[in-house]
Amino acid sequence: MNNKQKRRWVAIDWGTTSLRAWLLSPDGEVLDHAASNQGMSALQPAEFEPALLALTATWLTSSNSTTIVACGMVGAKQGWIEANYTEVPCNPLSTESILKVPTKDTRIDVHIVPGISQRVPAEVMRGEE
């Protein structure tokens, strides 16, 4: 296993009214958690990166980029960047279906997991479920 595979990473649930984050070990152990009221509905697209950095700054290092995997309303049309739904039935999501978010801060490598949708009956799931 190389050094990149052994790095800590961050899981994000970014809903309409709140932002929740968990710092995870390479093995998935929760090392820390944080939350704010900076939900998707309170932010403009340019404000997402600063809100994320404000919440996670103490977890980041300048020596490498921390992988951040986000789900929830952050990927909605009104969110940071739209991650289109994957229609069901579908295979488990692959790394190619996860959207990479352009960021200015080199300490973060942000990805948004798309939701899934079905046509009949009409239903969607954005990931926070």
What share of the chain in percent tops pLDDT 70?
94
Q: Where are the alpha helices (DSSP H) in the chain?
A: 48-56
More confident residue, 61 or 90: 61
Averaged pLDDT of the chain = 89
Sort 17 into a burial class: Cβ within 10 Å, 0-12 / 13-18 / 19+.
Answer: exposed
What pLDDT, on a 0 to 100 scale, did the predictor assign at position 69? Answer: 95
Task: Identify the band that residue 42 occupies on the pLDDT scale cut at 50, 70 and 90.
Answer: very high
Q: What is the mean pLDDT of residues 56-62?
A: 95
